[in-house]
């Protein structure tokens, strides 16, 4: 199964400007210069700070360059522009610009010797959409748990993932294609260099993200370029066991793009023409592309030497504490992806009856439900479980979750499971949802039970960032994954650890993975 399932996945986030009663935050000094920001509810925030030069002109489709410095005091009270992307309903009127490589920080204690744990968020959006300015991702609530929160922008779509062979000829010693991931590494290097000024501990950094952000977390663990930049990782709905596009596939997409843009001359001339294209022309072409190799991380042989699952299986990864999981109805993506139950069942071929008996051990399933469960396990459940199991073999702790809690406001409309991205609002808090009528009702009508799930998720996530163990605060025990205790924490009306959760179904996916990679299954 290719990672195509995320080509059009979206996360329901709000992009309207958040109102607040902010006051001035302490002025601080970082490597580039001095900053002032704002403070709200005892949490200081500094936004729109450049972590790399603007990737424009000759720097389009190049690795990010060292961030600029400035004289005087820079105003850091507002977000920078988000990276260029095709507008869809969640983008709203957020300004867009290629000059988008900025970082944001929320801190409850800016004293330089505070050494607070640091959590660095990577947004989702199929590597085509998203941005750190979404009010949903306001870090104030999480920072109150005694952690420093960081978010940033990274390049998207064809501007972030583009691998024309002329780029390799121009810079033969550089990796090409994964520019969005290179931006993420540059942001993490900025954190290492500067976060102490905000009260953070550069030796205690956790990366966390959802969807494309969760995939990015796994990619960073597998990339040698990110070694030593973080010590803990949380991957929410981040796949893992599916194959990444190859460099050859990405080069083919890029060549066709260049041909459509009428570039036919020398390497130097081709790149000059491509870099002179308007952003609108690039986005217009991108809108016609449905090939994942056109807008997602690839195995390029340098920045990403191996497919993520292969790197994890071989132990060629950063050895970090790892937390991963998915939601109870990730198959909400199927309609958006124009996938059907047959899409999932047809590849089973002669094994269809055998696999179906495994899935129907607790009762008969309709074709629709069977296909949805195959989708969920092939892309999500097996990915989280598989990578977590591989991580345990490095000697590092790993924890698995399944988020299944459905709020009353969502049950009222008939929801029976949690769709893709549905856990995000509980981690960040029920705010920033104004652009979606249903989510706005959820925030307005949140029950004590809903708010308890918010507190539960925030405790687990921040506890993990502090110690590498999500337990504490008298929350239900979350066992560490191991061959002798294959437990998944199921977060629902009753939150509890479940042994061997969907293990038989997941083992089917491991069989297919082993056949593809010629490697032993995780368990």
> Among all residues, which ones are annotated catalytic?
211, 330, 420
Q: Which tokens sit at 509?
A: 């996916």
For residues 515 and 510, what is the distance between their CA atoms, to the nearest angstrom? 8
Q: Which tokens sit at 70?
A: 């400035």
Q: Which residues contact 383 (CB under 8 A, 6 or more apart)?
A: 238, 239, 240, 241, 242, 309, 324, 326
Phi, psi of 313 (to 5 degrees): -60, -35
State the DSSP string of 430-492: S-S-TT-HHHHHHHHT--HHHHHHHHHHHHHHHHHHHHS----TTPPP-PPPBTTB-EEEEES
For residues 210 and 234, what is the distance between their CA atoms, to the nearest angstrom? 9
- Classify burial at 288, counting beta carbons within 10 Å of its beta carbon; exposed 0-12, middle 13-18, buried 19 or more: exposed
Between the alpha carbon of residue 282 and those of residues 85, 86, 169, the distances in Å are 10, 10, 22
Asked if 59 and 111 touch (Cβ cutoff 8 Å), the reply is no
Helix and strand element counts for the chain (H, E): 19, 17
Q: Which tokens sit at 432?
A: 């920033």
For residues 319 and 522, what is the distance between their CA atoms, to the nearest angstrom? 16
Planar angle of CA 462, 190, 219, nearest 5 degrees: 65
Beta bridge partners of 482: 485
Q: Where is 189: in which H helix or E strand?
A: helix 179-194
Query: Are β-strands 43-50 and 102-107 bridged in parallel, bridged antiparallel, or unpaired?
Result: antiparallel
Half-sphere exposure of 363 (CA within 13 A, CB side): 2
Q: Which residues contact 331 (CB under 8 A, 6 or more apart)?
A: 371, 372, 373, 375, 376
Between the alpha carbon of residue 70 and those of residues 32, 73, 89, 106, 232, the distances in Å are 6, 8, 36, 21, 32
Q: Which tokens sit at 275?
A: 């870099």
The interaxial angle of helices 503-517 and 382-392, nearest 10 deg, is 70
Which of 416, 392, 252 is CA-nearest to residue 322? 392
């Amino acid at each position: 199964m290719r990672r195509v399932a995320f080509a059009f996945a979206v996360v329901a986030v709000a992009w309207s400007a958040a109102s607040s009663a902010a006051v001035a935050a302490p002025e601080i000094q970082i490597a580039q210069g001095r900053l002032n920001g704002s403070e709200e509810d005892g949490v200081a925030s500094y936004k729109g700070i450049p972590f790399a030069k603007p990737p424009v002109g000759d720097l389009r489709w190049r690795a990010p360059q060292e961030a600029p410095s400035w004289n005087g005091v820079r105003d850091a009270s507002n977000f920078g522009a988000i990276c260029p992307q095709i507008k869809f309903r969640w983008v709203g009127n957020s300004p867009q610009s290629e000059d988008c490589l900025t970082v944001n920080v929320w801190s409850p204690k800016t004293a330089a010797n505070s050494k607070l744990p640091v959590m660095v968020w990577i947004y989702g959006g199929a590597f085509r959409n998203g941005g750190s300015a979404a009010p949903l991702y306001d870090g104030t609530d999480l920072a109150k748990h005694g952690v420093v929160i960081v978010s940033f922008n990274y390049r998207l779509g064809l501007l972030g993932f583009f691998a024309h062979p002329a780029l390799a000829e121009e810079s033969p010693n550089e990796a090409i294609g994964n520019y969005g991931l290179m931006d993420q590494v540059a942001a993490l290097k900025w954190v290492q260099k500067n976060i102490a000024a905000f009260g953070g501990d550069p030796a205690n950094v956790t990366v966390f993200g959802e969807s494309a952000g969760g995939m990015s977390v796994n990619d960073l663990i597998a990339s040698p370029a990110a070694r030593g930049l973080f010590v803990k990782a949380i991957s929410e709905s981040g796949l893992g066991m599916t194959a990444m596009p190859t460099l050859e596939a990405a080069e083919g997409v890029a060549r066709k793009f260049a041909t459509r843009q009428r570039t036919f001359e020398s390497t130097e001339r081709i790149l000059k023409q491509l870099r002179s294209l308007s952003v609108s022309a690039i986005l217009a072409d991108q809108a016609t592309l449905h090939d994942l190799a056109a807008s997602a991380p690839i195995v390029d042989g340098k920045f990403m030497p191996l497919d993520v699952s292969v790197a994890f299986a071989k132990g060629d990864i950063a050895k970090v504490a790892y937390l991963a999981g998915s939601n109870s109805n990730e198959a909400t993506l199927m309609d958006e992806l124009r996938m059907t139950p047959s899409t999932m069942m047809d590849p089973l071929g002669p094994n269809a009856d055998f696999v179906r008996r495994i899935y129907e051990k607790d009762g008969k399933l309709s074709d629709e439900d069977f296909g949805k469960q195959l989708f969920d396990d092939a892309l999500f459940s097996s990915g989280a479980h598989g990578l977590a199991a591989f991580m345990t073999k490095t000697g590092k702790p790993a924890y698995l979750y399944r988020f299944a809690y459905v709020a009353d406001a969502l049950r009222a409309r008939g929801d029976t499971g949690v769709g893709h991205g549905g856990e995000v609002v509980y981690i960040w808090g029920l705010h920033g949802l104004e652009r979606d009528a249903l989510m706005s009702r959820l925030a307005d009508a949140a029950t004590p039970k809903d708010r308890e799930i918010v507190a539960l998720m925030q405790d687990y996530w921040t506890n993990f960032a502090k110690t590498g163990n999500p337990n504490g605060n008298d929350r239900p025990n979350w066992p560490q994954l191991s061959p002798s205790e294959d437990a998944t924490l199921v977060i629902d009306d009753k939150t509890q650890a479940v042994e061997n959760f969907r293990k038989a179904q997941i083992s089917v996916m491991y069989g297919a993975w082993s056949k593809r990679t010629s490697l032993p299954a995780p368990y």
